[in-house]
Amino acid sequence: MEREVILSVRDLEVSFPKGKGRFIAVRDANFDIYKGETFALVGESGSGKTTIGRSIIRINPTSKGKIIFEGKVINEKLSAEEDRQVIKNIQMIFQDPATSLNERATIDYIISEGLVNFKMFKSQEERKAKVVKSLAEVGLLQEHVTRYPHEFSGGQRQRIGIARAMIMEPKLIIADEPISALDVSIRAQVLNLMKTLQEEKGLTYLFIAHDLSVVRFISDRIAVIHLGRIVELANTADLFLHPLHPYTRSLLSAVPMPDPISEKAKELMVYTENLHDYSVHQPSFVEIAPGHFVWANEPELEQYRELLK
Amino acid sequence: MEKKFQFVEIDEQASEHIAAPHYSYWKSVFRTFFKSKLAIAMLILATIIFSIAMIQPLFSNYDPLNSPNILDFSLRFNPPNSQNWFGTDNVGNSLFDAVWAGTRTSILISFISTAINLTLGIAVGAFWGYSKKFDKVMLEIYNVVANVPFLLVVTMMLYVIGYGFWKLIFALTITGWFGIAYFIRTQVMIIRDREYNLVSRCLGTPTSRMITRNILPYLTSVIVTLLSREIPVIISTESVLSFLGIGLTAATPSLGRMISQYTSFINAYPYLFWIPVSILASVSISFYIVGQTFADASDPKTHM
Ligand SMILES: Nc1ncnc2c1ncn2[C@@H]1O[C@H](COP(=O)(O)OP(=O)(O)OP(=O)(O)O)[C@@H](O)[C@H]1O
Ligand SMILES: [Mg+2]
């Protein structure tokens, strides 16, 4: 069955001015996200995950490559109408619930902000009803509409952020480490909530995380990013069964195992780029098995093919 | 035994309930403000001075160019008494009438100029902090303006356009808003890139509403601070200029000119000098303290 691609990223490069030159935060990024799936982007701190998310939502300007949403290139100047469509259809859940809410606005204003911008209601009653409904969807109460953000806990604030994105009825949601700033006890609650909403609304997620243990249970496919470069991309099952790139393997070795004996025997792998010798053969992003991509050169690919056998 | 424990329904919603009373920003501002005894005293003082200065001159018909009692020598240099509460001056005018007429001028000039400077400063500053292109141009202009002393600009302006109530206001505001605009610009830049503003951008919020809903509410306390500083600054600038004989024509009553005229009597008739000086100081200090306390109170960090 041919699945419908909702977002494609092609040869993306994002750079920031640094001193006299530019610092390249993301390079050669290539991936497709299918409609209705959860696509995870995993990498350590500073690897460029947020940067990719923010360039898709068009906060970060891109320096090379294309971002294509529903067949339309969106990282270039769009007409006002196209711009509105993209804003409405791609929403983001931000990394830090402590800084992503306007402290001087009521919950009513915060949740309604997008509705008002897009005039998505006919009367004030309808607007209020939509706000209450979306609060209820994330488990918050009607009485919260007149409250201010500082009166809520971290988990509640993150759910406010989710409600604010959901009310726009977007097609794609970029969730930037939505649970990393939360207490361990409520992480599952927020993840389950996101999962339920995805099923109800047929949403597509780009889920950003910095370790594999979180994404294992919620994502369909995983891309692993290291220092601004996507080094491996595969189905969740394939990636856990046949990790190819040494960086992926080092990340996997860091995933805690539930069995204490094998956890004790486990060898932690440390990854350095010196492992690769790219002086003769240049690496590229190759589909080594159906749907399984890896950043490697010819001799490495030989080796990996052996592993897959 | 089996009666001791009972099954209860779990109410998921109960844990979401917020027990604290509703927070209201402005209520909290006033509650915090009225906690300060000094601020209350100064607010009363400022209100009294303001009311007398606005009302009394309407009835006294004091005119600095007209001295009806100039021939009555018995009315000269009367010390404060039950008839003339502040005494009389060298030409037999009531100092009470003169002082309040002068205070009225000072307050009117400072309020009008401050209103103009603050409105322009905030409007331009907010836009300035938002637009990178506008910033480049404005910084060039600002570097020139900021390097010319304010008093020099005002004096030169007055020299060109002449003296008078509105001309003085014009001179005080022609560049007076620039400093405020620059200050607001910097504040806006600090707040502009906070994450919740990126969120608003992703929700398609237009810039104008970003300024009014995302930026300016965070600047209330900063703006009130500016206000409480600007009013005394303009009052003292006006009196310094009048003291030097610049700015207002002789037809406009002025505390500054009064003080300069009465300086020569400081030893023989000290009340002539000290009464206008203390009224001037009370105006500045009371407005300043009220403003500062209000600025502190409007910072939500003080509401806890
Ligand atoms: N606006 C910016 N200007 C300059 N450099 C930036 C900017 N944003 C990000 N960077 C740099 O780009 C690199 C990638 O940052 P990014 O925020 O995308 O990392 P991340 O993978 O999201 O990390 P984390 O897990 O800590 O959130 C970092 O080295 C960061 O310093
Ligand atoms: Mg990040």
pLDDT in tens, A227-236: 999 999 999 9
Look at residue B280 and tell me if it is in a domain: yes
Instruction: Please count the structural domains in chain B.
Output: 1
pLDDT at residue A13 is higher than 80: yes
Look at residue B22 and tell me if it is in a domain: no
For residue A272, CA distances in Å to A222, A246, A276 come to 21, 9, 9
**In this complex, is the C-beta atom of B19 within 8 Å of any C-beta atom belonging to chain A?**
no
Mean per-residue pLDDT over chain A, rounded: 92
Q: Which residues contact B267 (CB under 8 A, 6 or more apart)?
A: none
- List CB contacts (< 8 A) between A148 and chain B: 23, 25
Distance from CA of B16 to the nearest CA of A (A): 6
- Segment A84-111 shows an average pLDDT of 94
Domains and CATH numbers, chain A: 5-242 (3.40.50.300), 243-309 (no CATH)
E strand or H helix at B238 = helix B220-243
Asked if A41 and A52 count as a contact pair (C-beta separation under 8 A), the reply is yes
Question: What CATH number corresponds to the domain at position B275?
Answer: 1.10.3720.10
Longest Cα–Cα distance of chain B, Å, equals 109
Beta-bridge partner residues of A175:
A93, A207
pLDDT at residue A2 is higher than 80: no
Residue A225 Cα: closest atom of ligand 1 = 21
Asked if A16 and A22 count as a contact pair (C-beta separation under 8 A), the reply is yes
Pocket of ligand 1 (CB under 6 A): A 16, 23, 25, 43, 45-51, 210
Q: What is the rounded distance in angstroms from the CA atom of residue A23 to the CA atom of residue A30?
A: 19
- List CB contacts (< 8 A) between B201 and chain A: 59
Look at residue B27 and tell me if it is in a domain: no
Look at residue B131 and tell me if it is in a domain: yes
Question: What is the reported pLDDT for B300?
Answer: 81
Query: CA torsion sign, A144 to A150 to A153 to A158?
Result: positive
Beta pairing class for A172-176 and A5-18? unpaired
**Residue B199 CB-density burial (10 A; 0-12 exposed, 13-18 middle, 19+ buried):** buried
Q: Are the Cβ atoms of B17 and A143 closer than 8 angstroms?
A: yes
User: Which residue segment(s) compose the domain that B231 sits in?
Assistant: 35-56+85-303
Q: Which residues of chain B have pLDDT under 50?
A: none
Look at residue B7 and tell me if it is in a domain: no
Quick one: pLDDT band at residue A203, thresholds 50, 70, 90? very high
pLDDT at residue A258 is higher than 90: no
Paired tokens of A298? 């010819």
Paired tokens of A288? 């080594």
- Give the closest ligand to the alpha carbon of residue A52: 1
Quick one: pLDDT band at residue A182, thresholds 50, 70, 90? confident
Question: What is the reported pLDDT for B302?
Answer: 80
Quick one: pLDDT band at residue A303, thresholds 50, 70, 90? very high
The answer to whether ipTM exceeds 0.85 is yes
**In this complex, is the C-beta atom of B20 within 8 Å of any C-beta atom belonging to chain A?**
yes
Quick one: pLDDT band at residue A217, thresholds 50, 70, 90? confident
Paired tokens of B15? 């844990």
Look at residue B216 and tell me if it is in a domain: yes
Look at residue B69 and tell me if it is in a domain: no
Question: What is the reported pLDDT for B2?
Answer: 61
Question: What is the reported pLDDT for A1?
Answer: 57
Question: How many other C-beta atoms can be found within 10 angstroms of the C-beta atom of residue B107?
Answer: 22
Phi/psi class of residue A28: alpha, beta or left (left: φ > 0; alpha: ψ in -120 to 50)? left
Q: Are the Cβ atoms of A114 and B213 closer than 8 angstroms?
A: no
- Segment A101-120 shows an average pLDDT of 94
Residue with tokens 């030893």: B267
Compute the distance from residue B69 Cα to the ligand 2 centre, in Å: 81
Residue with tokens 């009464």: B275
Helix axes B176-192, B165-174, angle to 10 degrees: 40
CA atoms in the 13 A half-sphere facing the CB of A231: 23
Chain B interface, mutation test: which of A57, A78, A94, A104, most B Cβ atoms within 10 Å? A104
pLDDT at residue A257 is higher than 60: yes
Look at residue B75 and tell me if it is in a domain: no
